[in-house]
Structure 1
Amino acid sequence: MTPALINLAAEASEKQSAEVTDWAARLGWVAGLLLFVALVYWLMRQGWKWRGELQSGLPALPTAPEHAGEAKLKLSGRYHGSTTAGQWLDRIVAHGLGTRSRVELTLTDAGLDVVRPGATDFFIPAAALRGARLDKGIAGKVLAEGGLLVVTWAHGDKQLDSGFRSDHAAEHAAWLEAIDTVNSTNTTDTTEGAAR
């Protein structure tokens, strides 16, 4: 045999075939990963339920009266959730307030009607409105500065902040003014009633 053939035979014997995939180990890893994801999802769901139970003392949401009056303003957009007033990360989930959805807001003399397709509708009486501001975030949602209309209102013995975003952000300024007008009218009426 010539030295070239010996070298070729040596190189051929050194080459090994590719490793065969160990399907049992791979399937074990996939099953373990799926179980981990299911556990994390279950823990998140339990946390949501637990938070709802902690907030179960919150009274039921009011519904709109039959004759709420003429609409002053209307807004179409998104409802991003409610939190304890001043604590933008303390999400309220009781009575469906934690469910994000599309929203149709209507401001009347009687209050703020919040209609949410696919979620619980509610009504904020004019006497419960405490004010409105533009903000950048509420639990689970952060937008550009001033991109969120936050309405502060009283519900039971709690003050809540509810976050809304209009499909047309230019509408937010008109809403701030209108809610502040309703709030100042209610404050004046309450003060005059107390003075009598």
Structure 2
Amino acid sequence: MSPALTLRLAETPHSAPVTHVSELIGWTIGLLVLIGLVYWLMRQGWNWRRTQQSGLPALPAAPKATTESVLELEGRYFGTTSAGDWLDRVVAHRLGERSLAELTLRPDGLEVVRPASASFFIPIAALRAARTDKGIAGKVVPEGGLLVVTWEHGGKLLDSGFRGDHPAEHDNWVTAVEVLLKAHAKVASPSEVQQDEAQKEGA
């Protein structure tokens, strides 16, 4: 290449990179507004649910344990929903908050300790069933990856979902809850029979 041609190429003006700063700022602001709107709508929905569920009684605290625990489980609490409807989240009394959890199954019920949220206790008389599942409160995991406990509170059937640090233990929990419920039913049956007889005599 000749020196003259090289000089002409060097003198040729190069196009400067075009930046649309104003458009970029506009898109950024629009995106932030959209995120803020979605967050506000979520908060409104959450508050609406809390208002709708305001009639749900406060959660009972665990009484002092008088016997040894049957089983213990460490993991995460994923939430509580209306029984059978894994999208109908219950948010009253902080039941909608996901958190770490420690579960203790006792002869008198299920104790749920949540260090960063509200702990609660499910009396044995309120326990209805336990099963493994794959989803609750909008959270989906592999099949059997959730331990779901069905219980009654304030006349409403609820499902609470937990995922243990070792999901293989879930089946043991299902079996233990079933055994505990059967034992409780046998203990409760005589008193129920006596009540029925008393009602018949009174009639």
TM-score when normalising by structure 1: 0.87
Q: Which amino acid aligns with 1:186?
A: H
Matches within 5 A, 1:1-196: 17-18=15-16, 20-196=18-194
Q: Helix, strand or coil for the counterpart of 1:92? A: coil
Instruction: Give the whole-Å Cα distance in 2 for the aligned partners of 1:179 and 1:55.
Output: 27
Q: Helix, strand or coil for the counterpart of 1:130? A: strand
Q: Which amino acid aligns with 1:194?
A: E
Instruction: Give the whole-Å Cα distance in 2 for the aligned partners of 1:104 and 1:43.
Output: 32
- The answer to whether the 8 A contact 1:68-1:109 is kept is no
Q: Helix, strand or coil for the counterpart of 2:172? A: helix
Q: Helix, strand or coil for the counterpart of 2:100? A: strand
Instruction: Give the whole-Å Cα distance in 2 for the aligned partners of 1:185 and 1:31.
Output: 62
Give percent identity, aligned residues only. 57
Count residues in correspondence: 186
- The answer to whether the 8 A contact 1:83-1:161 is kept is yes
Q: Helix, strand or coil for the counterpart of 2:80? A: strand
Two-structure CA RMSD over aligned residues (Å): 1.9
Instruction: Give the whole-Å Cα distance in 2 for the aligned partners of 1:109 and 1:31.
Output: 57
Q: Helix, strand or coil for the counterpart of 1:91? A: coil
Shift of 1:178: 1.1
Deviations 1:99-132 (A, max 9, x none): 1111110111111000011010000001111010
Flag structure 2 segments of 5+ consecutive residues without an equivalent.
Answer: 195-203
Deviations 1:135-161 (A, max 9, x none): 111112111111111111110110111
- The answer to whether the 8 A contact 1:78-1:165 is kept is yes
- The answer to whether the 8 A contact 2:86-2:138 is kept is no
Shift of 1:18: 4.4
Q: Which amino acid aligns with 1:62?
A: P
Q: Helix, strand or coil for the counterpart of 1:90? A: coil
Instruction: Give the whole-Å Cα distance in 2 for the aligned partners of 1:129 and 1:61.
Output: 14
Q: Helix, strand or coil for the counterpart of 1:150? A: strand
Instruction: Give the whole-Å Cα distance in 1 for the aligned partners of 2:93 and 2:141.
Output: 25
Shift of 1:68: 4.7
- The answer to whether the 8 A contact 1:68-1:111 is kept is no
Shift of 1:19: 6.3
Flag structure 1 segments of 5+ consecutive residues without an equivalent.
Answer: none
- The answer to whether the 8 A contact 2:131-2:147 is kept is yes
Instruction: Give the whole-Å Cα distance in 2 for the aligned partners of 1:24 and 1:147.
Output: 49
- The answer to whether the 8 A contact 2:113-2:119 is kept is yes
